[in-house]
Structure 1
Amino acid sequence: MSFVTIVFLILATWANSQAMSRSTLHENALIDMHEQWMARYERSYANKTVKNMRFDIFKDNMNYVEKFNKGANRSYELGINRFADLTDEEFLSHFTGYKQSPLVPTRSSGEYSSSFKYLNLTASEIPTSMNWRDKGAVTDVKDQRKCGCCWAFSTVAAVEGITQIKTGNLVSLSEQQLVDCSTENNGCNGGTMERAFEYIIKNQGITTETDYPYKERDDSICQTGTATVKISGYEKVPENSEEDLLKAVSMQPVSIGIEATKSLKLYKSGVFTGDDCGDDINHAVTFVGYGRSEEDGSKYWLAKNSWGEDWGENGYVKIMRDVESSQGVCGIATDASYPTV
């Protein structure tokens, strides 16, 4: 064996050992991060087998975040949050909940309008930016937790908003009433905002969160409570038009259907562009404003989510506005609606 060959083998062995050492250090760092994450979110597992399985999922999500954040020209950042030990399938089955029903809603009584009352708004009537939080029309971020009823939270946020705009009073309303009583929807197994609006109309109102608190389940008997807030109907924003959506959001918070994927699950901050989604709507949020990014001037929608204040930007996500696709980022322009009073 020649001297050159020996040197080559020594260097190759050294390089392999260094690579293994780095790999071990990285694995140990991930183990430490998982332990810290478990402590922060008060997570525990039944046994070591389950813990190892959840660690593998955590590791996959962590690697996804690291790889994404190293990419060039990113307008948003991902991060490890309380969903980090869930597979995408587990996350979607428990923490989303937009689900169209094959039933056709009854629209003969006039509660639904096929018109769009903001159609003729001119450019001069539409502010260049809007934040309904600053105008006192948005309650604190709520948390649907492990119940697929995003549709109820989106509905309630829109009704809370228009009520404050019309009356000056901001009242936190009951999502649980919709979960229990909006029978054309399916509680924690999904539903739509339109059917929730229809329930509120037919029930002649909805009660407060204080009187009918959220329970994170759908096995309770419907308790109608006092009809604190009423709406007269609801309208749909014309599909595939961010221009019309802008008109609506300039006037009131609007319920929105969106496709939630891994990147939204792990969203941390910035203007979200939905690199891994299309328009397969499975989740609902509420648009409560719009504006431009101070960092790069990109236009965005401001969406209130129902995953708690420790997700995203204190419970909110900025979503890229006026994109090339008529459907908008993750389909946000395909199913938007708002209550009328």
Structure 2
Amino acid sequence: MARFTLSCLSLALFLTTLVETTTALQLPWSTPRTQVDSLPSQSFTQWMANYARAYEHASDQESRLKIFEDNARFIDSVNAEKRPFKLKANMFADRTKDELRFLRMGFRPPINASNFSSAFMHEYDNVSVPQSLDWREKGAVTPVKDQGFTCGSCWAFGAVAAVESITQIRTGKLVSLSEQELVDCVNTTRSQGCKGGFKEDGFQSIVDNCGLSTEAEYPYRGVSRTCNTEEPSTWVAKIKGYRYIPPNNENALLKAVANHPVAVSIDAGSKAFGFYSEGVFTGECGTNLDHEVLIVGYGITEDGLKYWLVKNSWSTEWGERGYIRMQRDVAAPEGICGIAMAASYPIA
């Protein structure tokens, strides 16, 4: 039984409720924004202008203002604690905690230990692990992308990002690949386009189809469509398979990342994670895995705080230009936000 994580389920369902109160539902992080952390209503007005947000009725705007003010108080209270990370009123600032979690709702079945063979440990028996590593500096990471507001496709973005990186490491060529092809063409009982899915199903689809199209050939639309079965002019990325990393083992995860970026599942449903702005995230979060991201490196701060460098798919408007640094080597074996629970990578 393959281990898997259902990620970002029901983004589209959430939009149905939000559209009743919002008339300008374009991607709210499509242009550069300024930070708004204070409480007065004029701050909310400025935030609305910054994010091109408009509401159909005055009552809708009033209710969203109250939510905004509640979130701003939360942001201010966390920032006042002088933690190693900061929050800001980003594109999620007019939503409740339940709405934030709904954006990333998912399901995690029991882990089957038989998935984790000795092949992984043998592959990295004699790995040299440097103190810090950033695969972006080695040219193995494509720019941050944006999965959009209406499609629960983080599973496809996680899979594709990992394949883009391993392809560059093996061939020296960094090419942006098609998430939309996976969204349209992977249709299993557990992966259904914008309704959510599993990165491993994405890997398997690339194996079964002998490659993946480029983003230019099969561009992202942010909706589930009929699979385009026309073969592209050139297959630019092929993989032989994929491998799981033993769960709840940050040391094993570190050895893998020292060799290539790794796709991981995390619990991204907390308010602190949603409003993350900068620094090393040490905030409260659980292990209800609901989101797929890519670890592209690791490091240690001047204060000695170890971290994972993680690429998200919420555009460069979120976090540190689309990235988050998450605390590494925590006391819990599953890692912060469950980052060590469900990790895998493609084999090229």
Q: Which of 238, 242, 251 is the matching residue for 2:250?
A: 242
Question: Following the alignment from structure 2 to structure 1, what is the Cα–Cα distance between the partners of residues 106 and 339?
Answer: 13
Question: Following the alignment from structure 2 to structure 1, what is the Cα–Cα distance between the partners of residues 116 and 208?
Answer: 15
Question: Following the alignment from structure 2 to structure 1, what is the Cα–Cα distance between the partners of residues 309 and 334?
Answer: 17
Question: Following the alignment from structure 2 to structure 1, what is the Cα–Cα distance between the partners of residues 310 and 206?
Answer: 23
Give 5+ residue unaligned stretches, structure 2: 1-37
1:101-116 to 2 correspondence within 5 Å? 114-116=117-119
The residue identity in structure 2 corresponding to 1:155 is: A
1:2-13 to 2 correspondence within 5 Å? none
Instruction: State whether residues 113 and 233 of structure 1, in contact with CA within 8 Å, keep that contact through their aligned partners in structure 2.
Output: no
Residue by residue, what CA displacement relative to the aligned partner does 1:260-281 show, whole Å, maximum 9, x if unpaired? Answer: 1111100011111132x12110
Instruction: State whether residues 39 and 73 of structure 2, in contact with CA within 8 Å, keep that contact through their aligned partners in structure 1.
Output: no
Question: Following the alignment from structure 2 to structure 1, what is the Cα–Cα distance between the partners of residues 281 and 177?
Answer: 29
CA apart distance, 1:30:
2.0
Structure 1 length normalisation: TM-score?
0.84
Question: Following the alignment from structure 1 to structure 2, what is the Cα–Cα distance between the partners of residues 119 and 66?
Answer: 48
Q: Which residue in the other structure is 2:271 paired with?
A: 262
- Mark the CA change 1:308 to 1:212 in structure 2 (over 3 Å): closer, same or farther: same
How many residues get paired?
Answer: 302
CA apart distance, 1:120:
5.8
Give 5+ residue unaligned stretches, structure 1: 1-27
Question: Following the alignment from structure 1 to structure 2, what is the Cα–Cα distance between the partners of residues 122 and 333?
Answer: 19
Instruction: State whether residues 98 and 149 of structure 1, in contact with CA within 8 Å, keep that contact through their aligned partners in structure 2.
Output: no
Tell me, yes or no, if structure 1 residue 172 matches structure 2 residue 176.
Answer: yes
Indicate the structure whose relative CO is greater, using CA pairs within 8 Å and at least 6 residues apart.
2
Q: Which of 280, 292, 300 is the matching residue for 1:271?
A: 280
1:1-341 to 2 correspondence within 5 Å? 30-72=40-82, 74-94=83-103, 96=104, 99-100=107-108, 114-117=117-120, 119=122, 121=124, 125-146=128-149, 147-184=151-188, 185-218=191-224, 220-224=225-229, 225-226=231-232, 227-260=235-268, 261-275=270-284, 277-294=285-302, 296-341=303-348
Question: Following the alignment from structure 1 to structure 2, what is the Cα–Cα distance between the partners of residues 267 and 181?
Answer: 33
- Mark the CA change 1:115 to 1:191 in structure 2 (over 3 Å): closer, same or farther: farther
The residue identity in structure 2 corresponding to 1:169 is: K
Residue by residue, what CA displacement relative to the aligned partner does 1:24-67 show, whole Å, maximum 9, x if unpaired? Answer: xxxx9521111111111111111111111111111111110001
- Mark the CA change 1:136 to 1:178 in structure 2 (over 3 Å): closer, same or farther: same
The residue identity in structure 2 corresponding to 1:209 is: E
CA apart distance, 1:191:
0.9
Question: Following the alignment from structure 1 to structure 2, what is the Cα–Cα distance between the partners of residues 213 and 98?
Answer: 26
Secondary structure of 2:60's aligned partner: helix
CA apart distance, 1:325:
0.4
Instruction: State whether residues 267 and 287 of structure 2, in contact with CA within 8 Å, keep that contact through their aligned partners in structure 1.
Output: yes
Instruction: State whether residues 277 and 318 of structure 2, in contact with CA within 8 Å, keep that contact through their aligned partners in structure 1.
Output: yes
Instruction: State whether residues 118 and 247 of structure 1, in contact with CA within 8 Å, keep that contact through their aligned partners in structure 2.
Output: no
Secondary structure of 1:162's aligned partner: helix
Instruction: State whether residues 327 and 334 of structure 1, in contact with CA within 8 Å, keep that contact through their aligned partners in structure 2.
Output: yes
- Percent of residue pairs bearing the same amino acid type: 46
- Root-mean-square deviation over aligned CA pairs: 2.1
- Mark the CA change 1:176 to 1:134 in structure 2 (over 3 Å): closer, same or farther: same
Question: Following the alignment from structure 2 to structure 1, what is the Cα–Cα distance between the partners of residues 132 and 221?
Answer: 36
The residue identity in structure 2 corresponding to 1:85 is: D
Structure in which a larger fraction of residues adopt helix: 1
CA apart distance, 1:98:
5.2
CA apart distance, 1:115:
4.0
Question: Following the alignment from structure 1 to structure 2, what is the Cα–Cα distance between the partners of residues 119 and 76?
Answer: 37
Question: Following the alignment from structure 1 to structure 2, what is the Cα–Cα distance between the partners of residues 65 and 280?
Answer: 23
